[in-house]
C-alpha cells in the first residue's frame, strides 16, 4: 500500500467550491487504497488579510504573536476539508502542528522544521483515517507557534514525506507544472516533464514562483521526489527529482527572470583587505539581500570599483547606509533602477561549450545591452533593462530550442 502526501496551495482551497473539488481529488487517491496525508495552506488572501490586521494594531507587532495570528488561516482550511470529507463518507480530522508535534528551530517567521512526531499520525492513518495537517507552521522548544516563511506549506509536505517515508509527495497548485519560462510572459513556454533539484533550485531562486527555494533545498537534502500538479485541470505535472533516469538531452532546461532590480556601483574605493565586508556588513544587518556582485581592481592595485544588485525597494535605504558608512572611502556612487535579471539554467551547460557565446550573441541580435554578468556551473545570469525582458526571454527561448 502506497503512502501519498498531498499538499494543496492557497488558490486550490480559495473558496468553498474549490475545497469541494480538492476533496474529490483526495477521494480519488483514497479509493485507490493509498495511505493518504493531506497538508493545506490557508485559503488564498487570508494570510495577507491577517498580516494587514497586525499592521493596523502596531507598526512593530510582536513576532511571536505574529506567528500565532497568521497560522490561524491554515486551521480554517484544514477544518473545512476534514468536514467535507466526513460529509462524503470518509474518516477524517484536522491536525494542527503542535498536536503531532512538528518541531522547529530558528526565529519566528523564518523557522525550519527539524522533526515530525508520527506515532499518533500513523495510528490514525492505519485505522483508515485521512489526516488534514496545517502547513506553514510548527512549534518551538518553548512551546510557541512558529511559521516557516511564506509558501512554507511545501516545506511541511516535504518534511512529512521524509518522516512518514512517503512513496509520493504531490504539490497541488494553480499551475499544471513547471514551465521553461513564465507562460504569462511568453506564450510558447513549454511544460517540463522532469527537472533536477539543482535546476529547480536555481529557477526558484531566480524568479520562478512555482516553489520556494527552501522547500526545493529540503527535498534535495532529504531525497524526496516532488510532483507539481494543478488542482484545476486533469493533466500530468512536473517531477522534481535527483534521479538521472529517462532525462532528455536538453542543454538548457529553463529561463527565469526577475523584476524590480537595482544596480549600485561604488567607484574608486580604497582597496584593502576586508573592504568588501565593510561595505556589505550594514546591508546584512538591515536584511538587504545582495545578489550579483562584480569587482574591478584598478591597474595600480590601489582602488577598486564594486558593483552589486539589490531589489529596487531597498535602494534608498542602501544609499543611506553607504553614505553614512565611515569605514569606507570612495570617489563616486551611482545607481540604476528599472532593471531585471534574466537567467538560463541547465545541467547540460556543464559539459557543453559555447553556451555563453550563444546567449550573448542572441541578446546582441536584439540590441539588448548587458550591464552585469554572473555565472555558476548550471546557470548564466545577465542584468538588463526591464523593458527588454520579454524580448530577451523570447530570443533565448528560441535559441536554446525550448519553444
pLDDT digits (tens, 9 = 90+) for 345-399: 999 898 899 999 999 999 999 999 999 999 989 999 999 999 999 999 999 999 9
Domain boundaries, the chain: 3-174, 257-399
pLDDT at 279 over 90: yes
Residue 352 to residue 131: CA distance in whole angstroms: 47
Low-confidence winner among 86-100, 113-127, 230-244, 353-367 (lowest mean pLDDT): 230-244
Q: What residue ranges in 212-315 does DSSP mark as E strands?
A: 226-230, 238-241, 254-257, 261-270, 293-297, 303-311
What CATH number does the domain located at 257-399 have?
3.30.2130.10
pLDDT digits (tens, 9 = 90+) for 37-50: 999 999 999 999 99
pLDDT digits (tens, 9 = 90+) for 161-202: 999 999 999 999 988 899 999 888 889 999 999 999 999 988
pLDDT at 207 over 70: no
pLDDT digits (tens, 9 = 90+) for 233-257: 888 899 999 888 767 778 999 999 9
Report the chain's C-alpha Rg in angstroms.
Answer: 23
- Kindly indicate the confidence band of residue 140, based on its pLDDT and cuts at 50, 70 and 90: very high
pLDDT at 34 over 90: yes
Name the residue among 168, 313, 194 with its Cα closest to residue 246.
194
What CATH number does the domain located at 3-174 have?
3.40.1160.10
Three cell numbers written together for 385: 533593462
Percent of the chain clearing pLDDT 70 (strictly above): 99
Which residues, 6 or more positions from 334, have their beta carbon under 8 angstroms from its beta carbon?
Answer: 264, 265, 267
Q: What is the mean pLDDT of the chain?
A: 93
User: Edge-to-edge, what's the strand order for the sheet holding 226-230?
Assistant: 92-95, 130-134, 35-40, 3-8, 168-173, 226-230, 238-241, 194-196
Name the residue among 79, 39, 42 with its Cα closest to residue 159.
39
Amino acid at each position: 500500500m502506497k503512502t501519498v502526501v498531498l499538499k494543496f496551495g492557497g488558490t486550490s482551497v480559495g473558496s468553498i467550491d474549490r475545497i469541494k473539488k480538492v476533496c474529490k481529488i483526495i477521494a480519488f487517491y483514497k479509493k485507490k487504497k493509498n495511505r493518504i496525508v493531506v497538508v493545506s495552506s490557508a485559503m488564498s488572501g487570508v494570510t495577507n488579510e491577517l498580516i494587514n490586521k497586525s499592521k493596523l494594531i502596531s507598526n512593530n507587532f510582536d513576532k511571536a504573536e505574529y506567528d500565532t495570528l497568521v497560522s490561524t488561516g491554515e486551521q480554517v482550511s484544514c477544518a473545512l476539508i476534514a468536514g467535507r470529507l466526513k460529509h462524503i463518507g470518509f474518516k477524517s480530522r484536522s491536525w494542527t502542528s503542535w498536536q503531532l508535534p512538528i518541531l522547529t528551530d530558528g526565529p519566528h517567521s523564518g523557522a525550519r522544521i527539524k522533526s515530525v512526531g508520527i506515532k499518533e499520525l500513523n495510528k490514525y492513518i492505519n485505522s483508515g483515517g485521512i489526516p488534514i495537517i496545517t502547513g506553514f507552521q510548527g512549534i518551538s522548544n518553548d512551546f510557541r507557534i512558529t511559521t516557516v516563511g511564506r509558501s512554507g506549506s511545501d516545506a511541511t509536505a516535504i518534511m512529512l514525506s521524509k518522516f512518514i517515508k512517503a512513496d509520493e509527495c504531490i504539490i497541488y497548485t494553480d499551475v499544471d507544472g513547471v514551465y521553461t519560462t513564465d507562460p504569462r510572459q511568453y506564450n510558447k513556454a513549454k511544460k517540463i516533464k522532469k527537472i533536477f533539484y539543482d535546476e529547480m533550485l536555481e529557477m526558484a531562486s531566480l524568479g520562478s514562483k512555482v516553489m520556494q527555494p527552501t522547500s526545493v533545498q529540503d527535498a534535495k537534502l532529504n531525497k524526496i521526489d516532488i510532483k507539481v500538479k494543478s488542482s484545476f485541470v486533469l493533466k500530468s505535472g512536473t517531477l522534481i527529482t535527483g534521479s538521472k533516469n529517462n532525462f532528455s538531452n536538453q542543454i538548457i532546461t529553463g529561463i527565469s527572470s526577475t523584476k524590480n532590480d537595482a544596480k549600485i556601483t561604488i567607484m574608486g574605493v580604497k582597496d584593502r583587505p576586508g573592504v568588501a565586508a565593510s561595505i556589505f556588513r550594514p546591508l546584512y544587518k538591515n536584511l538587504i539581500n545582495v545578489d550579483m556582485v562584480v569587482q574591478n581592481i584598478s591597474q595600480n592595485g590601489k582602488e577598486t570599483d564594486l558593483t552589486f544588485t539589490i531589489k529596487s525597494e531597498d535602494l534608498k535605504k542602501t544609499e543611506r547606509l553607504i553614505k553614512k558608512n565611515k569605514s569606507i572611502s570612495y570617489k563616486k556612487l551611482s545607481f540604476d533602477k528599472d532593471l531585471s535579471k534574466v537567467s538560463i539554467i541547465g545541467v547540460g551547460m556543464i559539459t557543453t561549450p559555447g553556451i555563453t557565446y550563444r546567449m550573448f550573441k542572441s541578446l546582441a541580435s536584439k540590441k539588448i545591452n548587458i550591464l552585469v554578468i554572473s555565472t555558476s556551473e548550471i546557470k548564466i545570469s545577465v542584468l538588463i533593462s526591464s523593458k527588454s525582458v520579454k524580448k530577451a526571454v523570447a530570443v533565448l527561448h528560441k535559441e536554446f530550442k525550448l519553444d
